[in-house]
Structure 1
């Protein structure tokens, strides 16, 4: 697909509409922005159907054999990287619009020269389709798809967040979940929008690698019960009747359960609470187990994203080491 005409009017209706999306607190119109080379590249590769338009600084789209593949754009973006993303986008039939530096500054001040406008409804449909394969895996039979059968024979690991409001934390958890090879991320109850611009940016493209779905509290616990997934809450204090176990002990139990037989899978969801309030007693009473990360130094606590990294990657390493016979 050929490049579109240069957009050079920073006050055009099109630019105003894009700016309105970037400022919107709600994503009710079904559109959101993906900013920066890494995030746009991953959207092109893994979520092509959701992309409506791509806007790129004209510096990176010089046509013909004289294209420059070195240096940076006028706002600091790497020309070589962006030019390759443009090539890949055009091959994937994306609408690519070159823009002037003034227009790009109007759209985004820190996108490093490239922005994608995406449809959240399309991406959400893809998320739901992939997420449903997890719950269907337990029922997988001879007539099931190859994707569903493959889920059945693997350990399921889910990252879930209850009322997480900070987009930076939420995006970092999605990125950590991607590193850990999680099957999905679930936003439980009233969480930040999955398509918040800061969340998208802090996920560094991982938002497009695995399903990120939202559920009510009741839907979440019903789903984990039906899918036979053990829910472990990350919490310091626990409840009167359910005290937290050291995460080291939880890992040890996980290894032992997984080693009972080669065909036994340990399906686990880790539930992380709100940054300020943690998890309420009524939620903790519904989980299967509560775990706390031991602190050996003088620090009072760890932030949410760091805790998620320790627990998710710890469980992932235990699972993969067992499969590799380590």
Structure 2
């Protein structure tokens, strides 16, 4: 397909432009069921992950990035067939993206649908976020969960919106690789316990380190807010708490770093304990 035939939009008053720009606001994302991703890497990950991409928008001055041009010409999967490609002015790129320097491309997607069956797989490893409000932390935890092969991530009430542009960027595409489920933890956590899943939290008062816990059993790792930790209602449901030992002068790790340490100890026990 020739990009010269793609429609060109240069006006900031265009209705499509207004619609795309509105997706920077959670209210409009919720209303439309769509969200926006920025940059070549994220768009490629979305296409490879068979996400429901509806429109790819690129800077007419820069043209379609080479990697996406190749994908357009060679990938005939359901993810790329029927896509709308639009070229726009630099001013439109600036209006529709949340970064200081506009990327060469962005895409419009339908919100993700996730299979909750992944939550209860045999020997499941699921990360549960309770009130994690920082988009960088939430995105990084999703990325770490993807890296260790976790089964899913659950975002409880009070968490940052998964589709916040900063959250999406921080995942580096991992949101397309594993189920991410938004749920009421007060309903879901008792359900997990009834299925034999261990609910594990962290506490400075814990008697066991993270290296003493058996991560090979079905486990949901519960991580609380940056300032307050787990909410009282969730804390009451925890089966066991562990502590990450620190021998230096640092007072604490942030929630994304702590989750990553725990996830990699899980990976070590599950995959590398006899190697």
The interval holding the TM-score normalised by the smaller chain is 0.7 to 0.9
Correspondence for 1:321 among 267, 272, 275 = 272
> Cα 1:134–1:221, aligned 2, differ >3 Å: closer, same or farther?
closer
Greater radius of gyration (CA)? 1
Partner Cα distance (1:88, 1:219) in 2: 45
Bigger mean CA offset, 101-110 vs 89-98: 89-98
Cα deviation for residue 42 of structure 1 reads 0.8
Alignment match, 1:209: 177
Cα deviation for residue 57 of structure 1 reads 1.7
Q: Aligned residue pairs: how many?
A: 267
The reply to whether residue 81 of structure 1 matches residue 67 of structure 2 is: yes
Cα deviation for residue 227 of structure 1 reads 3.0
Alignment match, 1:40: 43
The reply to whether residue 225 of structure 1 matches residue 193 of structure 2 is: yes
Please list every run of at least 4 consecutive aligned residues from structure 1 whose deviation after the TM superposition is greater than 6 angstroms: none
Deviations, residues 260-303 of structure 1 (Å, cap 9, x unaligned): xxxxxx11111000111111444323111101111110011111
Alignment match, 1:15: 17
Bigger mean CA offset, 92-101 vs 164-173: 92-101
> Cα 1:26–1:101, aligned 2, differ >3 Å: closer, same or farther?
closer
RMSD (CA atoms)? 2.2
Correspondence for 2:162 among 194, 200, 209 = 194
Cα pair 1:5 1:98 within 8 Å, conserved: yes
Partner Cα distance (1:59, 1:22) in 2: 23
> Cα 1:5–1:282, aligned 2, differ >3 Å: closer, same or farther?
closer
Cα pair 2:7 2:87 within 8 Å, conserved: yes
Partner Cα distance (1:174, 1:37) in 2: 20
Matches within 5 A, 1:234-313: 234-237=202-205, 243-250=206-213, 253-254=214-215, 258=216, 266-313=217-264
The reply to whether residue 100 of structure 1 matches residue 89 of structure 2 is: yes
User: Taking structure 1 as the reference length, what is the TM-score of the superposition?
Assistant: 0.75
Alignment match, 1:175: 143
Deviations, residues 216-256 of structure 1 (Å, cap 9, x unaligned): 1222212311332111102223xxxxx44211222xx44xx
User: Taking structure 2 as the reference length, what is the TM-score of the superposition?
Assistant: 0.88
Partner Cα distance (2:135, 2:26) in 1: 14
Structure in which a larger fraction of residues adopt helix: 1
Aligned partner of residue 212 in structure 2, secondary structure: helix
Cα pair 2:8 2:87 within 8 Å, conserved: yes
Unaligned runs of 5+ in 2: none
